[in-house]
Amino acid sequence: MTIRIIGGESRGRKLKGPRGLEFRPATGRAKTFIFSYLSDRIKDAVVLDLFAGSGSLGLEALSQGAAHVDFVEKSFQHIQLLKSNISRCDFSDRSRIIHGDVFEEIIRLRNSHRRFSLILADPPFKAFYRERIVRSVKEGGILKSDGILIIEHDSHDPDSEGHGFRLIRQKPLGQSYISIYHRGEK
């Protein structure tokens, strides 16, 4: 599968993706929906990319104007791929790779008082992590008060109660959904 940056300063740049059917990077349709929704909010955003894989979502954010992205990935193979893709896009100075379990790293980020304006999560398909991601992000307090949490998940992943977040948009895309949560008061 060819993975490309769809917009911004690195538009058209090809990214490396690992081989194997278990890997499912965000599609061009998913990225188009996400970044059209974000529009001007991506400019200068501080972003957390959970289950980063090849880095497709976080690198798209950087290409479209994000100030910085922290990538969290557990797989050593994917970390090597991520390093290569960050270098390929020349975003080393605006990114950081965190090698570890997403849920453990959320706790570490909380303890370091890191806060993000945007959190992107694309967990393994069929993992059904949406509820756990929403709960962990809320309990971790790592999303700024007006921040946005976006999760791409299996269409059969049960609805999340929100845990203080409002589900403001949901879009079906084949066998997956994009769910957008807002932490704001409105």
Domain segments of the chain as ranges: 3-126+136-182
What are the tens digits of pLDDT across the range 43-99?
Answer: 999 999 999 999 999 999 999 999 999 999 999 999 999 999 999 999 999 999 999
116-121 and 68-73 as β-strands: parallel, antiparallel, unpaired? unpaired
64: closest CA among 4, 121, 9, 122? Answer: 9
The answer to whether the beta carbons of residues 62 and 40 sit under 8 Å apart is: no
Cβ 74 vs Cβ 102: under 8 Å: yes
Answer whether residue 32 shows pLDDT above 50: yes
* Cα separation, 70 vs 86, whole angstroms: 11
pLDDT at 162: 64
Question: What value does the mean pLDDT of the chain take?
Answer: 89
Q: Determine the pLDDT at residue 5.
A: 94
Q: What is the pLDDT of residues 163-186, one digit of tens each?
A: 678 889 999 888 888 999 998 654
Q: Hey, what CATH topology would domain 3-126+136-182 get? A: Rossmann fold (3.40.50)
Residue scoring higher pLDDT (125 or 36): 36
